[in-house]
Structures are given as C-alpha cells and as structure tokens.
Structure 1
Amino acid sequence: MLSSAVQRTVSALVGRQPLAWPVGTKGVHTAVSRPKADSPESGPPPAFDAALLDFLVCPLSKKSLRYEMSTNELINEELGIAYPIIDGIPNMIPQAARMIRQNKQQEEKEPK
C-alpha cells in the first residue's frame, strides 16, 4: 500500500486531483525571503571584521591590506587597487578589484 503522500503525488501526476500538501508536513521547507540590499528595511550592511586583516593578503602581491571604512574596501597601497567588501565578505578576486592609483592621478590633474 502506498503512503498518502505518494498517492496524492501519483494522482496529481495522472490528473485526477490537484496536488495539495497538508500544512506542517514533516520535511517540507518554506522559502524565506530576504530583504533586498537596496530596500530600506535591510538596514546597514554587515560590518567587516577587522581581525581578518591578520590573515588576509592581496592575492596578487601577497602583501597585507588596509581596511578603508569610508568606501568599505580592502586597499593594497603598493599596487593601487581596492577589493570590495560585499555583505561583510571581502571579494578578493583580482578582476573585481578597483584601480585607485589612476583615480588619484586624475584627481590631481583636474583643476579645482
């Protein structure tokens, strides 16, 4: 004899009745929606744990990094690049890094 859940599934597949699961069925998970990052109820992004700076190094130069709170980035002064921190997690992929040395040179050239 098939269990009631299997019977409902088979019946629904052959078109006899709609598939309806009772509330509170063991093993059924509901999706929880998270607020989007730009929505007002999301609040501030998780803070970066500065203790990680003892372990993190630039993947390109293997030099230590500096945390810049105003831009929420990890800075490699030697190479002039900044790695973004997204939701409290540093994105250490070199292709995701932003060049900061060029930005400083452009700012110096612009008349004030």
Structure 2
Amino acid sequence: MDTKLLELLVCPVTKGPLNFDRERQELLSRSARLAYPVRNGIPILLENEARTLSDEEIDKLAALRPAL
C-alpha cells in the first residue's frame, strides 16, 4: 500500500484515519471497529465488505496509534 495513498484515505463510516495491516491486506478503522479488504492493491472501502475487528485487534491498534 502506497503511504501517500494511505494518508489520503479515511474510513467511509467515521471519516477517521486508517491503518494498513500488510500481513492481512486490510485497512483498519479503530473508530468504526472495521477492517476493509485490499484486493489486488485496491482498497475496498465498502461497509458491507468489511469485517468487524475483535477486542484484541482493537487493543493492538490502540498501541500503534493513540486515540485522536
């Protein structure tokens, strides 16, 4: 995922920042508790395509980026 593109993208639900999980190829929204898939390098920012993040995943994400 291009870092410049990541800086421009926001969660479509909350308009908050996204973090990229390179291993799972997902964009993570802490505020919406959603993980959006990235397929063939293309972010799929549709709420119905996202999966819900677990409490453990939210805790890991909180450690990476403090709440705004």
Please list every run of 5 or more consecutive structure 2 residues that lacks an aligned counterpart in the other structure. Answer: 58-68
Q: Please, which runs of 5 or more residues in structure 1 have no aligned partner?
A: 1-47, 106-112
1:62 match: 15
- Paired residues in the alignment total 57
> Could you say which residue in structure 2 is the equivalent of 1:81?
34
4+ residue segments displaced more than 4 Å: none
Q: Bigger radius of gyration, 1 or 2?
A: 1
Q: Distance in 2 between matches of 1:71 and 1:51?
A: 20
Give me the whole-angstrom Cα distance separating, in 2, the residues matched to 1:54 and 1:75: 13
Per-residue CA shift, 1:29-86, capped at 9, x if unaligned? xxxxxxxxxxxxxxxxxxx212211110000000010011111100001221100000
CA RMSD of aligned residues (A): 1.6
2:49, 2:24 → 1: CA distance? 15
Q: Identity of aligned pairs, percent? A: 33
Highest RCO, 1 vs 2 (Cα 8 Å, sep ≥ 6): 2
CA distance in 1, matches of 2:6, 2:43: 11
More strand by percentage: 2
Give the TM-score normalised by the residue count of structure 2.
0.75
- Relative to the length of structure 1, the TM-score reads 0.47
Q: Does 1:94 align with 2:47?
A: yes
